Chain A
Amino acid sequence: MIEDREIKDLEKSVEQIWEVARRFGLDPYPTNFEIVPASVMYEVGSYALPGRYSHWTFGKAYHRMKTMYDFGLSKIYEVVINTNPAYGFLLETNSPVQNKMVIAHVLGHVDFFKNNTYFSKTNRRMVESVTTHSQRIMEYEFKHGRKKVERFLDSVLAIEEHIDPHFFIKRDISAAEEKRRAEYQPKEGRYDDLWLLDKSTNPAEQQVSKGSDNEREKDQNHPAPERLPEKDVLFYIMKHSPSLSTWQRDVIAMVHEEMEYFVPQMQTKIMNEGWASIWHARIMRELDLPDQEHLEFADLHSGVVSPHKGQLNPYYLGYKIYEDIERRWNSPSDEERKKFGRAGEAGNEKIFEVRELENDVSFLRNYLTEELCEELDLFVFELADEEEWTITEKRWEKVRDQLVANMTNFGFPYMQVEDGDYDGNRELYLKHCYEGTELDMRYARKALEHVHTLWGRPVHLETIVDEETTVLHYNGDEHEED
Chain B
Amino acid sequence: MSIQRNDWSLQRKGIIDQERHKDRVKEAIRKNLGSIVSNEAIILSDGKRTVKVPIKALDEYKFRFDHRKGKHVGQGDGKTRVGDVIGRESRPGSGTGSGQAGQEAGADYYEAEVSIDEIAALIFEDLQLPYLQEKAKKAVQSRKTQFNEIRRTGVIANLDKRRMILENIRRNAREGQGAKFGNIKKDDLRFKTWEEVMRYESNAVVIAMIDVSGSMGEFKKYVARSFYFWMVRFLRTKYDNVDIVFISHHTEAKEVTEEQFFTQGESGGTVVSSAYQLALDIIKLRYRPSDWNIYPFHFSDGDNYYSDNEEAVRLADELITTCNLFGYGEIGEEGSSSYRRSSGALLSIFNDRLKAKDHFVGVRIDDKEDVYPALKQFFGQRGIETPA
Contact = CB atoms under 8 A, between A and B. Distances in A.
Contacts of B64: 412-413, 439-440, 443
A378 B82 CA distance: 11
A39 interface: yes
B5 A7 contact: yes
Contact of B67 (A54, A386, A440, A441): A440
Contact of A391 (B2, B21, B80): B80
B82 A393 contact: yes
Interface residues of B, number: 56
A443 B61 contact: yes
Interface string B42-83: 000000000000000011111111111111111111111111
A253 interface: no
Contact of A389 (B1, B3, B23, B86): B86
B125 interface: no
Given A412-B63, A439-B64, A450-B61, A310 B69 contact: no
Interface stretch (B98-106, B143-151, B276-284): B98-106
B62 A159 contact: yes
Given A311-B102, A378-B75, A443-B64, A54 B88 contact: no
A377 interface: yes
A310 B101 contact: yes
Contact of A43 (B13, B66, B85, B86): B13
Interface in B6-21: 6, 8, 11, 13-21
Contacts of A130: none
B4 interface: yes
A441 B255 CA distance: 54
Contacts of B103: 389
B71 A380 contact: yes
A439 B69 CA distance: 9
Interface stretch (A55-63, A76-84, A334-342): A55-63
Interface string A393-427: 11000010011001000001101000000000000
Interface in A157-179: 157-159, 161-162
B3 A42 contact: no
Contacts of A391: 74, 76, 80-86
B65 A437 contact: yes
B353 interface: no
Contacts of A390: 83-86
A272 interface: no
Contact of B73 (A18, A30, A380, A449): A380
A309 interface: yes
B89 interface: yes
A447 B8 contact: no
B24 interface: yes
B21 A60 contact: yes
Interface in B77-124: 77-89, 100-103
A447 B65 CA distance: 12
Interface stretch (A8-16, A115-123, A217-225, A286-294): A8-16
A405 to B, nearest CB: 8
A192 interface: no
Nearest to B78: A377
Contact of A157 (B5, B60, B73, B89): B60
Nearest to A445: B61
A46 interface: yes
B74 A381 contact: yes
Contacts of A437: 65-66, 69-71
B20 A150 contact: yes
Given A56-B23, A383-B68, A392 B82 contact: yes
B73 A403 contact: yes
A379 B65 contact: no
A282 B320 CA distance: 86
Nearest to B8: A40
Contact of B65 (A402, A413, A446): A413
A440 B65 CA distance: 5
A379 B1 contact: no
Interface in A53-110: 54-60, 62-63, 66, 92
A54 B18 CA distance: 10
B17 A10 contact: no
A403 B71 CA distance: 9
Contacts of B82: 379, 391-394
A311 B20 contact: no
Contacts of A309: 75-77, 100
Contact of B70 (A10, A382, A444): A382
Contacts of A446: 59, 61
A33 interface: yes
B14 A59 contact: yes
A439 B66 contact: yes
Interface in B331-363: none
A158 B58 CA distance: 12
Nearest to A52: B13
A443 B4 contact: no
A444 B63 contact: yes
Given A46-B14, A162-B63, A377-B76, A2 B5 contact: yes
A313 interface: yes
A312 interface: yes
Contacts of A388: 85, 87-89
Interface in B240-284: none
A443 B63 contact: yes
B1 A54 contact: no
Contact of B86 (A310, A312, A439, A440): A310
Contacts of A412: 62-64
A394 B80 contact: yes
A200 B375 CA distance: 74
B75 A386 contact: no
A379 B16 contact: no
Most chain A CB within a 10 A radius of its CB, from B61, B81, B87, B102: B61
Given A311-B102, A381-B101, A439-B63, 18 more contacts: A7-B5, A18-B1, A33-B4, A34-B3, A35-B3, A35-B4, A40-B8, A43-B14, A55-B20, A57-B21, A159-B63, A310-B86, A377-B75, A381-B86, A383-B69, A389-B100, A393-B71, A402-B73
Interface of B: 1-6, 8, 11, 13-24, 58-89, 100-103
Q: Which 3 A-B pairs have the closest CB atoms?
A: A59-B17, A446-B61, A43-B14
